[in-house]
Every structure is written in structure tokens, then in C-alpha cells.
Amino acid sequence: MLKPKHLVLSVFILLTVINPVQADSPPVDPKILHIINRLSFGPRPGDIAKVEHVGIEAYIQEQLAPEKIVEPASLSVQLSQLNALALTPVQLRDYATTIGIKDPTEMQKSLSRMRSNQLLQQAVRGRLLRAIYSPRQLQEVMVDFWYNHFNVDASKGVGNIWVGAYEQQAIRPFVLGRFRDLLGATAHHPAMLHYLDNSQNRVIGGKTTPGKISPLNENYARELMELHTLGVDGGYTQRDVTALAKILSGWGIIAPKKTSNHIFGFEFYPKNHDFSDKVFLKQKIKGSGKAEGELALDILAKSPATARHISYKLAQYFVSDRPPTSLVKRLSQTYLTTDGNIRAVLNTLFRSPEFWDAKNINNKFKTPYQYAISSVRATGVEVKNVSPIVNILQQLGMPVYRCPTPDGYKNTQGAWLNADGMTRRLNFATAIANGSLPFSSSGKNSQANIAKPVDSEILAQTLGNNFSAKTQNAIASSPQNIRSALILGSPEFMRR
């Protein structure tokens, strides 16, 4: 239950967060704060000084080449303890499911549930630790962006055992590469094939009686065009959906107790494929098996509609909820001239006048994920136990890997700015500022769980003292012991 002073602050935030007043002369160059807030999950202690030292352009180029950035040993050690991240989808299935076991016992089912939960917990822990501690911040931001774009919900069936591997194998290696490679990796991964039902997309007697469709599952084909590539207004028809479903028929997952030559455990089943000739997006595709699917992915990745759709989403994520048409066009041109090179598109975006326009600085309302991670990063708290972050994301309606719809979580203000969400953010801000969240360990009664309260002066310095006069007055006139909470609950910190 909020105390009266906290309730007043909550109302204050709701009234001012929509149109926060900018400080007349912020102590830190707002462009430095802007680039940190957009290319990372917010500043950690020392980040502002680092960017001031190396310069904005050098920082951008550094983040665009994450393979050259050395991960801290402490993070590497923690990640190395997450054994599930190194397993293939086939290994995960064999370890944590009863698939392939005839008449499994209740004990086997219970063991399967326990192991599945453990695998999901490891995946969530790995994602959160990287987001907090990795100096490859743009890579982590893009992992969040692309996983959301190619969303897979862990709540569906055996998805909970595969989402970590899906991110590790089909998303993470390709976030700054060619879009076609990313598209292909997601299309072949069991997590996606299971989630959008393409493993159930088959024909009966496809090889001997081309065109006999019974049954045909169009779910993945539809979402592949509507969400992943062309966009809802991308010019495709229901005939294209059906044609693509036929093209992708037989794309499935390797059966239990069998080996696969594909790293993901993908398997093409000729007996389940429609070998008839097709017309897809006005292009003739001769019935030839798995190669049809690869050609369809090529067509989709090279489409101008895909270039526009991806460019719009990137501009919306990094610039504005309603991105300028001029920027979307420029990004689309870069996409098409570089064969879908994501790094090149982002380089164009970060150098664009629209990105640096004053009206687009600190104008993006943070999603719950961005708010929680930025709070932990700003305070510099040591995180060994990620449960407090998992809990607040659950409360705010954005649990990791559990978006129930294939279009992923929204990243716009309208989806997240509401009274209940603001109150929960304020409670989290107060708890982390007071040092009352058990980040150090999971033992509830351990004195070691309790961190020290966050120093408000250090916190303000970490964030560049970039607060409006109204917020500064509210902080200065408040007792010392609630100033850090006021900073984390301020209108300025709610945005990036």
C-alpha cells in the first residue's frame, strides 16, 4: 500500500510524464545522454564520462562492432554456470521432456516439469544478466528488439525448454548482420516451428499426389509475411498465404531418438511436402522440396515492403513512436542497397538528423523491461539474484519470453503509461533505492540480502543530473532518504 507522500508523487508523475519540462541548461550534454539511452539500457556509473572521453561517434562505432568488446570476466563466469545455454534444441528436448517415451510415469512427468522450469529460469537469468552487465549494450538492445520481432511464447507447449536456445542460436548471432540470415535462422528453429505450428503444416501424399492438401496449417506462413517481413500492408493476398504454406509444408522438427545434420534439429520431410508448382508474390516457384522455402525467404528478405516494415519498426524503437516518413525512406534505401545489412541501417539511423532532433530526445517512454533494467544499471547494485526483476516484470505485464501474441510486446507509450503501472514502478523504485530488494542472494532471511540504500548524489551524477527544474526542486525539498526513489520515479527517468 502506498503511503500518502508516495501516492502524491505517483500522481505528480502521471501528470508530468506525458510532457516533461526540460531543464534550461542540463549539466551534461543532452546528446551524450541521448546516445547512451538509445544504444544501451541506460547509463551505469562511469558511462557518461566514458562517452565524453571517447566521443559520440567513436561510441556508436564501438557499439556497432560488439565482437571487439571484451566481456567482463565476472559476467562470463556467471553465464558459464548456465549449462542450458550451451545445449542444442535436441539435447534440451531429450533432457526435459517425455516426448518419445511411451506411457511416461507420473514421476517422469514431474521430472520433466521441474527440468523445463529450470531451463526457462536459466534462459531468463542469462538474458537479464547480459542486459545489466554486458558492455555490448547495443547488441543486448537488439536482442530485445529482434526477439520481440520474431516472438516465441515460452508458455506454449514445450516452448519453455527452447526459448533460451532460440535466442542463443537464432537471434543473438545475427542481430547486427544480414536480415536474411536472421530470418532463415528463426524459420529453421524448432522454437518457431513449434510456436507458429509449422511443424504441423503438412500434406498427405505430397510427393505422389501434388496439390492434395490435407491438412495445411497457414499460421506461420501468415505471420511470416504480416509480422516478420512484408507487414500487414505489404501487398500480399490470401492466395500468397496459402502458396507460402504449401511451400513450407514439410518443414519440421527432427523426431525423438534420431540424429539431425542441422544444428537446430530442423528436418525437412518430403512425404509431408506439396511438390506442386506455386505462384508466390507473382513469382513462379517450381516444386522442388526444401529449396522452395529458401527461395521464398530470399524473396521476402529482398522485398521493398520488408525494407519499409523493418525500417519503420527500427525507427519507432530508436527515434519516436510515430517515426518521420523521411527517416523510414532513408533507412529503407540503405536496407535495399546493402542487401539487408542491419548494421548499415542502424549506422544510417544513428547519423540521421531525425535521430538527433531535439524533439526526439528523451521522448520514448520506457517499456517495463527497459525501466527495470535501467534502474538496476543506474544504481550500480550487484545482482546475483534476478528474482526481483522477474517479479516486477511479471507485475507490469512484460515477463521475459512470455508475450502471448506473435506480434511481441509494444514499445510505445500508449501500451505502458497507466496509473497501475506507474504505481508499481514507483514501488519498485522505492524498494531498490532503499536497498530492500534481495539482489545479493535468494535466502529471504539472510542479512546479506539487504543492500545499502542508494546514494542520491551518486545516482544523480550517473544520470547526468538531467532533470527539469520542477523535478530538481522536488528532490531538493525532500528528505535525504527518499531522494533516490524520487530520481528513479521522476518523469525524466521514465523516458529514454
Contact between 467 and 490 under an 8 Å Cβ cutoff? The reply is: yes
Query: Percent of the chain at pLDDT above 70?
Result: 90
Q: Examine the pLDDT at 106 and tell me if it is beyond 80.
A: yes
Tell which residue, 183, 210, 200, 208, has the closest CA to residue 248.
200
**With the C-alpha atoms ordered 455, 461, 462, 464, is the resulting torsion angle positive or negative?**
positive
Over range 323-346, report the average pLDDT. 98
The pLDDT assigned to 205 comes to 59
CA angle 400, 490, 393 (to 5 degrees): 15
- Buried b / exposed e over 266-303, threshold 16 CB at 10 Å, is bbbbeebbbbbebebbeeebebeebebbbbbbebbbbb
The pLDDT assigned to 441 comes to 77
Split at pLDDT 50, 70, 90, the class of 446 is very low
Which residues is 285 bridged to in the sheet?
278
> Cell match 542444442: residue?
88
H-helix segments, 319-418? 325-337, 342-350, 353-356, 368-379, 387-395, 413-416
Query: Percent of the chain at pLDDT above 90?
Result: 86
The pLDDT assigned to 22 comes to 41
pLDDT tens column, 112-147: 999 999 999 999 999 999 999 999 999 999 999 999
Contact between 362 and 496 under an 8 Å Cβ cutoff? The reply is: yes
The pLDDT assigned to 395 comes to 98
**Lowest-confidence pick of 27-31, 113-117, 292-296, 383-387:** 27-31
Split at pLDDT 50, 70, 90, the class of 19 is very low
Over range 447-451, report the average pLDDT. 56
**For residue 61, what is the enclosing H or E element?**
helix 56-63
pLDDT tens column, 39-72: 999 999 999 999 999 999 999 999 999 999 999 9
The rounded distance, in Å, linking the Cα atoms of 88 and 94 is 10
> Cell match 511481441: residue?
408
pLDDT tens column, 193-217: 999 999 999 997 545 445 554 579 9
Residues in the chain: 496
Tell which residue, 232, 214, 161, has the closest CA to residue 190.
161
**Lowest-confidence pick of 12-16, 101-105, 218-222, 451-455:** 12-16
The pLDDT assigned to 363 comes to 97
Average pLDDT in the chain: 92
The pLDDT assigned to 347 comes to 98
Contact between 196 and 405 under an 8 Å Cβ cutoff? The reply is: no
pLDDT tens column, 152-191: 999 999 999 999 999 999 999 999 999 999 999 999 999 9
CA angle 308, 309, 314 (to 5 degrees): 95
The pLDDT assigned to 452 comes to 87
Contact between 13 and 417 under an 8 Å Cβ cutoff? The reply is: no
pTM comes to 0.92
pLDDT tens column, 81-94: 999 999 999 999 99
Domain ranges of the chain: 4-63+362-488, 80-175, 198-302, 305-359
**With the C-alpha atoms ordered 214, 90, 169, 155, is the resulting torsion angle positive or negative?**
positive
Q: Examine the pLDDT at 348 and tell me if it is beyond 80.
A: yes
Distances (CA, A) of 339 to 63, 172, 187, 285, 307: 21, 20, 19, 22, 10
Split at pLDDT 50, 70, 90, the class of 449 is low
